[in-house]
Amino acid sequence: MSLREVSPLTLPLALIAHQVFRRHETYRVAVHLSLLLAPPALVAAYVARSQPYSAFLTAFVNALLSYLAALVTSVVVYRLSSFHPLASYPGPVWRRVSMIGPAAATVSGNRHRTFADMHKQYGDIVRTGPNELSIVDPTFVEPLLGTGGLPKGPNHIGGNMSEETNLVGIVDIPYHLQRRRPWNRGLKQSALKEYEPLLAERAQLLVQRLGDQSGSADLGLWLKYFGYDFMCDMAFGGGSELLRNGDKNNVWAIIEEGMVVCTVLHTLPWLGIYLGKIPSVVKPMLLLQENGRQMAKKRLERGSKTRDLYHYLCNEDLSDRSPPAIAELADDGILTVVAGSDTASMTMTNVFYCLLTHPEAYAKLQAEIDKFYPAGEPASETKHHRDMHYLHAVINEALRLYPPVPLGSQRRVPHSGAPVVVGSTVLPPGTVVYLPPWILHRDPRNFSFPDAFWPERWLITSGQLRHEDAQPPSSAKDATKMDISGLVHNEAAFTPFSIGPMNCPGKGLAMLEMRTVIVSLMKNFSFKLRDGWDPAKFEEELKDYFLVARPELPVTIERRRIVT
């Protein structure tokens, strides 16, 4: 049977299959295979009935080719047509067709820059994929992320290579909220108090190890070691000694290589499901998952002397509750490692990069630290944090310029529900949405001098500094006092931790950790960028692999004398 003979039969079946795929998006391999193979098989059985088996095989191959060609054509034509629900949204034509190209492009780590370029060209709402929009209008933040907002998007299904994801990717809102409760208990203020001694001990070890580095080091690397060790202390009651022993098991290479693969699979979730079945292809991802699972499993086997995060995740704080399933706890171990250690250590690296390239800000923060932590006052004392307005402003400003999750967390309008309407914008069912902090934070409509590191903006708007006493950022040479008095500062557009019931539960811990470490380091050392290193490279080499991957930060280190 030739292609021409089978095509009249396969064409209508392909059109029906397209509609089924479109309305009932599924990640079940069995359903995919049935929809892809059963119709051509039926056509072949029909046209080659009462003929030898070889005729059936020829008919099947031809039916499959014509069926797939019709299916692909139908999908592409529909996505490019004015019938597609997102047809009215502007965006590059190639991105309307398929996510395969965008997924391949994520490997470069420039996804955030690509999104920024698209917004420059097409405006505030851009169609960045066949069914995907990126929105940089801050009035959408609360309705889409806040209470009553949208559920999570499907990207973590790809990253997890399974529809069963850890907390961060749970799509079903009631189930997400149920799984979220122990995290909230384990990361609330009273629980943080119990982590403070662990934090103080680790920060002291970081100081000691940096002091051993004979005057020069990659500060980013040591902050990564610190971040991982502290996260293991805090979450699993110990288990990592990178600061003492170095990264002999390459855990950071595992995390960073895993995140590259994860970003590709976030963009094409169905591919994750398939590649998950070919371990050799997704080895970095599997190693990353195994690392997190092992950390959690070892913790469960040995128990913990401290009330660590797993004390809460295992419901050990509730006498009337049994622990959740081991698989669930192990999956949340992966999330703990990635969400908890990478983000905070990266932000501390960014803080030091900003301070070291802005000596006047460095000097102001040093003065504040010396005021609150004179000789004799331990750097681990947290009671001063709330009065350290400049420290808070510096951290906020680093988070504004370099949000660790540059595109933010994905959301999706449920397939089964009604369209979501925000103002005059209609988001049809099935639409995936990004609200990228990287772009919102650098938009002059949200923040004056958007590309400048200028902690003073946070002091002015919180009433700590009068407009008339503020100096414009050093990089904004032509700025006037007028520009400062008409300061634009829209905190509704500041979303490094996301917002709403599915936001980051680790915000309080991250702030505590960052403050303690910055104080400990600046109280003990003077840092300078290593001579000959070009700081311009730092920003260029920041990569978006869902979380930001950072370049090295080489510094010279000198011990300060005023310290006890």
Chain residues binding ligand HEM by CB under 6 A are: 145, 167-168, 180, 183, 335-336, 339-340, 343-344, 347, 404-405, 408-409, 496-498, 502-506, 509-510
Q: Structure tokens of 136?
A: 């940089």
In the complex with ligand HEM, which residue's Cβ is closer, 67 or 497? 497
Determine whether the annotation assigns residue 504 to a binding site.
yes
Min. distance of Cβ 356 from ligand HEM in angstroms? 19
User: Rounded CA gap, 369 and 362, in Å?
Assistant: 11
CB nearer ligand HEM, residue 17 or residue 510: 510
Answer for the pair 152, 171: CB distance below 8 angstroms, yes or no: yes
Name the residue with tokens 């599924």: 26
Distances (CA, A) of 256 to 259, 341, 466, 516: 5, 12, 43, 25
Q: Which helix (H) or strand (E) holds 525?
A: strand 525-529
Q: How far is the CB of 216 from ligand HEM (least distance, A)?
A: 26
Q: How far is the CB of 16 from ligand HEM (least distance, A)?
A: 36
Closer CB to ligand HEM, 79 or 152, in the complex? 152
Q: Which is nearer to ligand HEM, 430 or 496 (CB)?
A: 496
Residue 175 or 533: the one with the smaller Cβ distance to ligand HEM is 175
- Least distance in angstroms from the C-beta of 462 to ligand HEM: 20
Q: What's the CA gap between 431 and 25, in Å, rounded?
A: 12
CB of 533 to ligand HEM, least distance (A): 25
Q: How far is the CB of 295 from ligand HEM (least distance, A)?
A: 12
Q: How far, in Å, CA of 411 to CA of 433, rounded?
A: 5
- Burial of residue 209 (CB within 10 Å: 0-12, 13-18, 19+) is middle
Q: Give the nearest residue (CB) to ligand HEM.
A: 506
Q: CA separation (Å) from 422 to 26, 436, 494?
A: 27, 17, 19
Closest CB to ligand HEM among 64 and 518? 518
Buried b (16+ CB within 10 A) or exposed e, 399-433: bbbbbbbbbbbbbbbeeeeeebebeebebebbbbb
Distances (CA, A) of 340 to 235, 327, 440: 9, 19, 24
Instruction: Pick between residue 96 and residue 185 the one whose CB is nearest to ligand HEM.
Output: 185
Residues facing 432 on adjacent strands: 132, 412
> How far is it, in rounded angstroms, from Cα 227 to Cα 234?
10
In whole angstroms, the minimum distance from the beta carbon of 519 to ligand HEM comes to 16
In the structure encoding, which two tokens stand for residue 119, read together? 């917004």
Binding residues for heme, as ranges, are 504
User: Binding-site residues, please?
Assistant: 504
